Every structure is written in C-alpha cells, then in structure tokens.
Amino acid sequence: MYGKGILKGLSVTWKRFWDTYTEDISWMVRGKKRYNTVEGVAHRSSKNTKGIFTVQYPEEQLIQPEEFRYVPFLVYDEGEEGRKEVRCTSCGICAKVCPPQCIWIVRTNDPSTGRPVPVPTDFYIDMDICMNCGFCAEYCPFDAIKMDHDFDIASYERNVYNLNKLLKPASYYNSIRPENAAREDEARRAKEAAKAAKAEAKTATA
Amino acid sequence: MATPLTATVDLIAKFPDSVTADTRPGYGGFIVKKENLVEVATAIRDEFGYDLLTAATGVDYLAENKMEMVYHAYKTTGGAGLIFRVQADRVDPVEIPSLVGVWAGVDFQEREAYDLLGIRFTNHPDLRRILMWEGYEGYPLRKDWKEPFFEEETKPFKSRWPDGQHTFAENKNPFRDNLSFPEGFDPEAYKPENEDDLYASLERFRSKGEDDRLKTDHIVVNMGPHHPSTHGVLRVAVTLDGETITGLKPVMGYLHRNHDKIGERNTYLQIIPYTDRLDYFNSMSNNFGYVTTVEKLMNIPVAERAEYIRVIMAELSRIQNHLIFIGMLMNDLGTMYTPSLYAFEERELVLDIFEAVSGARMMCNYFRFGGVVRDIPDFAIQKIKDLVHERLPAKTDEMERFLNENEILVARLKGIRVLNAEDAIRYSVTGPVLRAAGVPYDLRRADPYSIYDRFDFDVAVRHNGDMMDNYLIRFDEIRQSLRILEQALKQIPEGPINSQKPQYQVRVPAGEAYGRIESPKGELAFYVVSNGKPNPYRYHVRPASFVNLQAVESMCIGTKIADFVALLAMFDIVMGELDR
Ligand code: SF4
Ligand code: SF4
C-alpha cells in the first residue's frame, strides 16, 4: 500500500509524543519531580530516558562531571589570618605549554640578590584567547593552576584576568574536583614524608 | 614508517634514469625527476596498481633551496603505500607537472599547493587560488612568509615568561610590516575581478548550441556561502540550463585559518587541541589520526588499555556522526528538524560520555602520545555499556523504522546516481561514499592501524552507488561500530593508560611520517616532517571532506538543481575540516 512507510514512520513520532507525556505523568503519580531536580536531570541523561528529554537551561543544568573543564584558575591555600599562600612558583611551564600562548607571567626577582623568588608578581590569562584545552592544569608540577567549572563568564569587556581575579581558595578546588584533589593531596603528602625521612636520615648520619 | 614494499626494486629497475631512492635518514620512497613525473606516475598507476592517490603535499625546504611535492599512492585492494616525490629548485616560478591527467583526485590538492606554496602545476586545467582569496599576495606556507601579528618562528614565545606583561596582539600595528597588499591596493575600491576566472571555469561545460534545440540562456546561480544546506560557509557556483546543472564549481576558504601554518609554529603537543577544531563533530578521531602519526615518527608503543579506550572513543564518535548525517540529510531533503533532532538526542548521550572522560563535549583534547590523558571513570564505562548494549541498537532500529520505508524518501533517494566505483577511485574519494559504490576499502581493514586487526567486524559495502545506498550504508556502519564496541568493552584490560611519562616537550627524531585513519567521513591523514626540533618542520592535514569534494563537480553535471543539495550532503562535509 502506498503510504504505509509514511504511516510506519509516523508511529515513531506518535510514540515519542506519547512517551513524553506519560513520562511526565508517571513521575507526577509517583510524587517525584521530573524537572528542576538533580534526580530528574540525571534520569534524563541516562539510557532510560524516554520521549523528549530537553534540559531546560538555564532553569536547570546538566550535571557537570568532575572532569568538566572551562577556563583555568589559580589555587591558593588558606594560611593563618586569611593569608593567601599562592601555590604557583612562576616556573613558567604553563606559559610554555599553552597552545594559543594566552598566559603571561611576571616572575618576581629578589631586589637585593636579583635572583628569582618562587611567587609570581603578576599572572595574566587572556580568557578570550584561551581554548580551554586544560594543558596548563595537566602539566603544572605544583597543582597550582586548575580548570574551573564556572562557565558563565560572558561580559561586555575583554576578559583578561589578572592574578587577583584568578586566585581561588583550595577549598573551592576541593569542592569542584573532590577526587582529583584527594589524589593530589595524597601524592603531595607522600612526597613531603619522603623528603622529611630523607632529611632525618641525613641528620642521623651526620 | 610506511616505506614501500616490493615495488622498490621494480620502479628503479624500470626507470633507471629518472627514479632514485630517497636516502635521507627517516625518509622513504623515491625521488622522481621532474621531467618524467607524468610517465612514472602513469606506470605506478597502471603497471604497479596503485590506483588511489590519497595525498599530494608540498613542502618548502628553504635551507636546501628546494620545493618538494610528496605523493602517497595506495592500492584499493589494501596494503602499504608507495611514496614518491618530485623536487624543484626554489626559484620563481617553481614549476612541477600536474598529475590531474593521471589521478583526477590531485586537482584540489595541487591547487592548494599552488595557493599556499606557490608551486605552479603545468597543464593543470584550473589552477586558481583555492583557500585564500583571489587578490591575495604571497604564499603563506613558505618558510619565509610571516603572518600578521607575527611574533616568533615557533612557540613558546619569549614575551610570555619570565617578564610577561600582557599586551593585545592587535595593538601592534597590523598594517606596518607583516601584512602585504598588492601595489596600489585600496580595500574600499576592491572589486574581485578574478570572479571572472571562476565563471570562466564554468564555461567549458556550456552547451555550444550545435544542436537544433531551442536556444536558451544559461544562468549562473551562486549557492552560498550563506545557504542553509551547504553545511557551513561553502559557496557553489552553478550554471543552469532550466533546472539542469551544466557547470558547477565549489568555492571555499571562508573558514580558512591556515591550520598547517599554525601547526608548524606549535610544538608537537600543542597541535592536539587544534586538531579538535578540524572536523568538530569528531574531535576524538582527529586526535587519533594526529597522535598515531607522531607516534610513528617517535617510534613509541601505546599502552594496551589506552588502545582500547581510543577505539571505544573513535567508534562512539563514528556512531554519533552517522546519526547526525542521517538527520542532516533529512534536513536537506526538506524533512525539517524532526529526524535531525532525534539524532541529536542520541548524540547528546554520547557527548555526556566524552565530557565525563575528557572534560569537554566537543573539543575533547583527549589523546596523548603513547596513550590518553586519563582513565575512563567507572560510571562512564557503565554509561558506555548501557548505550552500546541497549540504547543505541534500539535507537538505530527505531531510526530505520522511522525513515527507511517512507515513500517520499525512497522516491528522492533511490536510483539517483552518486558515483560509480571507477569515478570514486579516480577522484580519490574515500569513506562511506566509496564503499557505497561497491569498493570495500576501509582503512581499519585495508591498512590496519591501532588494534583494529583484533576485532571481528565486516566492512560495510553496498553496490548500487545511488543515494539510497549512500544513506543505508551509514546504518550498516553504525551496526559494525556497535559490534566493535561490544568486543572492545569485553576485552579491555586493566593497566596504565600511557606508555610514556607525562611530558610537555616530546622529542621527535628527524624524518617524515604519514599516518592515516578511517574517520567517519573518509580517510583522515596527517603528514608530518620533523627535523628534530620541538616543532614540526612541516605539518599537513589531508582532510576527507576536502578531497572528497572534488568529485562533486563531475557527479552533479546533468542532474537537477533540487538533487544537488542532497548529493552534496552525501559527502558529509564539515567546513572546519574542509577549509582548515
Ligand atoms: S601555575 Fe604551575 S606551571 Fe604555571 S607558573 Fe605557576 S607553578 Fe608553574
Ligand atoms: S586551558 Fe589551554 S589555552 Fe587555556 S590557559 Fe590553559 S593551556 Fe592556555
């Protein structure tokens, strides 16, 4: 019969239409919210989702996986009396590895000796040029630069971030990437312990 | 390194006066004398059976004062390739005979070499600029050419550290020393007079009115660059006789950014995120192609687990690409958006996985030399299993139920010729279009890379070469990809995900490498020349879309303008890759 194929196809569209509403109703009957809840969004990005599963951005957002990356930020540890202990040593690796070369670092030199000291005087990242590749975070040997989850940075100005704007506390980092942070802290502690043990062995022999 | 096979001896024995072996360390293949190029190439095609010329690349050896064209020829029956090259003195005009008469598939690539390197191909039928605009002066890929805002030959730039005071690039006056215009150029008064060349190139198809039919005027129609169905900013100039196409020329380069040159300024590692932006639907495949090429050059192994992860990602990418292809084809046929949004839904679920493993949905930047960045988290493995075992097979079936028997669709697709096998090979077309024409040529089988030789799957092939076959073969390929995925998920071992230590500067020994993979759109290949420095000396992409598009001219002539949009859709072009 001519037109059978079209009808067959339409049955698929009809099923989609039907599923969309029955899903909504079944969530309602079970007394759960399909929209604007984490559970609802998670279900809508799983294999079991049926019907239309649009996420109603910006009212609701997809759940960001831990590895999600947007632009980089600099991590500082919170010292006593709110002192910011910047992890960055201005070693320059991130500036060298950055593909579009959008990281600019001013290294600090000790005025009396002229030798470099391991803190940056200033640190700029041109966020309009950053291609969100994540290399800086990947290759920084001091866990000092990390990729952020916050992607709402649109503005009317050029987005050149300086040191001040780039700094975020370690607690923030731990909250967005708990697994990575735990792993890195572990590694750092192990390294420090090894160093201490070595120093101890040295004093013992001396 | 893909060095030639038994043909080595034969070629020199056959042409003792005009062919010599290339003995530079790290290089392979033959050097052919310029004067005998066409003769040798014909023999390579006809007597040695290398019927598929995949890449023709120009290289500027400034220090040696030479320009070189490198050709990579393969057999459609499979196996390793044959590299031959021809060198010319670097004095203007650099002239090399054109091979269009031997392999029609070098047409665009020779135009590209002319455009970017200034090599003149004698006897090329239509030697015009292809990626740069017509009035452009200079040849950007030459080693002595400098771009606007030029800072240094290679990255990293010294101005960034240790005294990196931020400045905007545009504050350095762009019009002073590193941008050159033709003499007396006035942008206000510029009229692209070379447009005439374009229309003249259409001319040769015009019917000369020798028959006694009613004489009608032919009209020229420009489709694009802003046309919803050209998949981006592609412009196509067509001459029409009524509704029948009598001449056609694609015009491209609107998205050109000279990816090759950017790559040559970058370090090896820095190129990886740039490859994401080629075919932005399949950044995983692009990464794959590039890192395999450099790994060949570096001669390093890939961690076992990483091999499986790579295959899983590449095949997931292929599935979503083909679903989108089907959806977009429907858009082009006028089925506005319902099928394409159904396809996008599944793609979203695949992208969720990419995001979980790599951190980004589209610009994945996930592969590294020797492996991948990080392991797949357990929940993502579970998600992949859910999709591969349950959802995607069911959704593929649903898509087929939805569309395949639709009478309007069948009427539009069935029996409309795309390409026959002979033409497809002649024009160096690869990928699904070649396979739908009856040539079972799939690099995963024909020239296996990575670990594809461990999986049990069939090369999808169909024989009619019409639009229906081109459409259906996408479903076949999705099914085969699912088969590969099932096996990969079962076999994937535990272990490290990179065979190397993380390094931001890799050491790449001097030499050349040509790496090719079966991307969803066809053969995606990279040609990299290293001179032992941290940056590649020559970095070239051979994108599937660009090379495949060559066939569009001959295949559309004689068809109706309404079919043209659908015919173009068959190549599944992506401008990010086509224009580079
Ligand atoms: S952020 Fe890390 S890599 Fe960059 S300069 Fe600071 S310590 Fe070095
Ligand atoms: S994410 Fe990539 S582009 Fe952006 S600052 Fe870091 S290295 Fe540079």
- H/E element, A96: helix A93-97
**B558: pLDDT strictly greater than 60:** yes
- CB-closest option in B165, B391, B410 to A106: B165
Cα-to-centroid distance, A159 and ligand 2 (Å): 14
**∠ CA B23-B25-B27 to the nearest 5 degrees?**
70
Q: Which of B157, B355, B386 lies closest to A65 in CB terms?
A: B355
- The DSSP secondary structure of B293-324, one letter per residue, reads HHHHHHT----HHHHHHHHHHHHHHHHHHHHH
Instruction: Give the residue from A104, A122, A136, A162 with the most B CB atoms within 10 Å of its CB, the best one to mutate.
Output: A104
Q: Is the CB of A134 under 6 A from ligand 2?
A: yes
Nearest CA in chain A to B273: A133
Which H or E element spans position B394?
A: helix B392-403
- The Cα–Cα gap between B105 and B128 comes to 16
Task: Assign B292 a pLDDT band (cuts: 50, 70, 90).
Answer: very high
Q: Is the pLDDT of residue B350 over 90?
A: yes
pTM recorded for the entire structure? 0.89
Tens digits of residue pLDDT in A56-95: 888 888 888 999 999 999 999 888 887 888 888 888 899 9
Tokens of B315: 């095949």
Q: What integer pLDDT is reported at residue B9 of this predicted model?
A: 56
Residue A160 — φ and ψ, nearest 5°? -100, 110
Among candidates B159, B162, B270 on the partner chain, residue whose Cβ is nearest the Cβ of A99: B270
Residue B5 has a pLDDT of: 42
Cα gap B406→B451, rounded to integer Å: 39
Compare CB distances from A104 to B160, B358, B407 and report the shortest one's residue.
B160
* B161 chain-A contacts, CB cut-off 8 A: 90, 92, 95-96, 103-105, 107
C-beta separation of A40 from A27 below 8 A: yes
- Report the relative pairing of strands B119-122 and B94-97 from DSSP bridges: parallel
Ligand lying nearest the CA atom of residue A120: 1
Q: Residue B176: which pLDDT band, with cuts at 50, 70 and 90?
A: low
Percent of chain A scoring above 70 in pLDDT? 100
Q: Which atom of ligand 1 is nearest to the CA of B161?
A: 5
Closest ligand to C-alpha of residue A93 is 1
Mutate to test the interface with B, among A7, A20, A67 (most CBs of B within 10 A): A67
Average pLDDT over residues B273-302: 91
According to DSSP H, which parts of B171-267 are helical? 195-203, 259-265
Minimal-distance CA residue of chain B relative to A126: B166
The whole-number pLDDT of residue B573 equals 87
pLDDT band per the 50, 70, 90 thresholds, residue B206:
low
Residues in chain A within 8 Å Cβ distance of B398: 12
Q: In this predicted model, what pLDDT tens digit does every residue of B78-117 receive, in sequence order?
A: 888 888 899 988 887 888 999 988 888 898 999 999 999 9
Q: A149-166, pLDDT tens digit by residue?
A: 988 888 898 888 988 889
**Per-residue model confidence (pLDDT) at position B1:** 41
Asked if the C-beta of B304 comes within 8 angstroms of chain A's C-beta atoms, the answer is no
The crossing angle, in degrees rounded to 10, of helices B304-333 and B392-403 is 20
pLDDT at B123 over 80: yes
- Domains, chain B, with CATH or none: 11-122 (3.30.460.80), 259-579 (1.10.645.10)
Least CB–CB distance from B164: residue in A11, A53, A104 = A104
CA gap A118, A101 in Å, rounded: 21
In the numeric block, the tokens 């040559």 are attached to B264
> Closest Cα to residue B129, out of B107, B146, B109, B114?
B114
Evaluate: CB of A140 within 6 angstroms of ligand 2.
Answer: no
Burial of A205 per CB tally in 10 Å (0-12, 13-18, 19+): exposed
Lowest mean pLDDT among B277-281, B334-338, B385-389: B334-338
Does residue B104 contact residue B422 with C-beta atoms inside 8 Å?
no
Q: Please judge whether A99 and B406 are an interchain contact, meaning their C-beta atoms are less than 8 angstroms apart.
A: no
State mean pLDDT over B55-84. Answer: 89
Higher pLDDT, B227 or B53: B53
Exposure of B465 by Cβ count < 10 A (0-12 exposed, 13-18 middle, 19+ buried)?
A: buried
Using a CB–CB cutoff of 8 Å, tell me whether B137 touches chain A.
no
Question: In this predicted structure, what is the pLDDT of residue B2?
Answer: 43
Q: Which residues of chain A does B166 touch, with a Cβ-Cβ cutoff of 8 Å? A: 104, 124, 126, 160
Residues of chain A with C-beta less than 8 angstroms from the C-beta of B403: 9
Separation of alpha carbons A78 and A89, rounded Å:
16
Q: Is B388 on the interface with A (CB under 8 A)?
A: no
Of A110, A106, A108, the closest CA to residue A95 belongs to A106
Exposure string (b/e) for B529-564, b if CB count within 10 Å is 16 or more?
Answer: bbeeebbbbbbbbbbbbbbbbbbbbebbeebebebb
Quick one: pLDDT at residue B365? 92
* pLDDT of B6 over the 60 cut: no
- The average confidence (pLDDT) of chain A is 88
> Of B108-112, B126-130, B292-296, B358-362, which gets the smallest average pLDDT?
B126-130
- Of A45, A35, A47, nearest to A65 by C-alpha is A45
C-alpha distance from A18 to closest chain B C-alpha (Å): 15
Asked if residue B244 has pLDDT above 50, the reply is yes
**Using an 8 Å Cβ cutoff, are B461 and B424 in contact?**
no
Residue B366 host element (H or E) = none
Given a cut of 80, is residue B202 above it in pLDDT? Answer: no
The reported pLDDT for the residue numbered B238 is 86
Q: How many A-B residue pairs are in contact by the CB < 8 A criterion?
A: 138
DSSP one-letter string for A27-92: HHHTT--SSSSHHHHHHHTSTT--S-----TTTS-PPPPTT---SEEEEEEE-GGG-EEE------
Are the CB atoms for B428 and B103 separated by under 8 Å? yes
How far apart are alpha carbons B352 and A64 in whole angstroms? 9
- Across the interface, do B166 and A126 touch by the CB < 8 Å criterion? yes
Of the partner residues B164, B352, B360, the one whose CB lies closest to the CB of residue A105: B164
Other C-beta atoms closer than 10 Å to the C-beta of A27 total 17
Q: Kindly report, residue by residue over B302-333, the tens digit of the pLDDT.
A: 999 999 999 999 999 999 999 999 998 888 88
Q: How far apart are CA A86 and CA A76, in angstroms?
A: 4
Query: Does the CB of B349 have a partner CB in chain A at under 8 Å?
Result: yes
Return d(Cα B498, Cα B368) in angstroms, integer: 8
Least confident of A120-129, B204-213, B430-439, B562-571: B204-213
Cβ-contact B274, A99 below 8 angstroms: yes
**ipTM summary value:** 0.90
Ligand 1: list residues with CB < 6 Å. Answer: A 88-94, 105, 140, 142, 144-145
Average the pLDDT over A96-125 and give the result.
88
Residues of A in contact with B504 (CB under 8 A): 93, 96-97, 135, 139
Judged by CB atoms closer than 8 Å, whether chains meet at B270 and A93 is answered as: no
- What's the confidence (pLDDT) of residue A206? 66
Expressed in percent and rounded to 5, the helix, strand and coil fractions of chain A are 40, 15, 40
Name the phi and psi angles at B80, rounded to 5. Answer: -75, 165
Q: Do B504 and A96 touch (CB under 8 A)?
A: yes
Residue pLDDT, tens place only, B438-464 = 899 998 888 888 899 899 998 989 988
Please report which helix (H) or strand (E) contains residue B457, including its range.
none
Instruction: List CB contacts of B120: < 8 A, sequence separation 6 or more.
Output: B93, B94, B95, B96, B114, B127
Q: Which atom of ligand 1 is nearest to the CA of A145?
A: 1
Distance A137 CA to ligand 2 centre (A): 8
| Among the listed residues B106, B237, B127, the one whose alpha carbon sits nearest the alpha carbon of residue B546 | B106
Confidence class for position B3, pLDDT limits 50, 70, 90: very low
For ligand 2, atom 3, the nearest C-alpha belongs to A130
**Average pLDDT for residues A131-160, to the nearest whole number?**
90
Q: Average pLDDT for residues B143-149, to the nearest whole number?
A: 82
- CA–CA gap between residue B125 and residue B104 (Å, rounded): 11
**Which ligand is closest in space to the CA of residue B266?**
2
- Ligand 2 pocket member A74 (CB < 6 A): no
Residues B515-555: pLDDT tens digits? 999 999 999 999 999 988 899 999 999 999 899 998 888 88
Contacting residues of B for A99, CB less than 8 Å apart: 155, 266, 270-271, 273-274
Cα distance from A129 to chain B (closest Cα, Å)? Answer: 10
Is B574 in contact with B545 (CB distance < 8 Å)?
Answer: yes
Q: Which of A2, A116, A134 sits opposite B359 (nearest CB)?
A: A134
Joined tokens for residue A163: 């040191």
Confidence of residue B129 (pLDDT cuts 50, 70, 90): confident
Length of chain A in residues, anyone?
206
> What b/e readout covers A34-58, taking b as 16+ CB neighbours within 10 angstroms?
beeeeebbebbbbbebebbbebeee
A136 CB near ligand 2 (under 6 Å): yes
pLDDT for B325 equals: 92
The amino acid occupying position B360 is: A
pLDDT of B482 above 90: yes
Rounded to the nearest angstrom, the minimum Cα separation between B393 and chain A is 12
DSSP secondary structure letters along B120-158: EEET-TT---SSS-TT--S-TTSTT---TT---SSSSPG
Give residue A103 CA to ligand 2 midpoint distance, Å: 7
- Confidence class for position B204, pLDDT limits 50, 70, 90: low
Angle separating helix axes B268-276 and B283-298, nearest 10 degrees: 160
B338 vs A: CB within 8 A: yes
pLDDT at B308: 93
* Cα B426 to ligand 2 centre (Å): 43
Q: What Cα–Cα distance (Å) separates residue A129 from each residue in A17, A101, A159, B270, B539? A: 43, 8, 9, 14, 23
CB contact under 8 A, A160 and B156: no
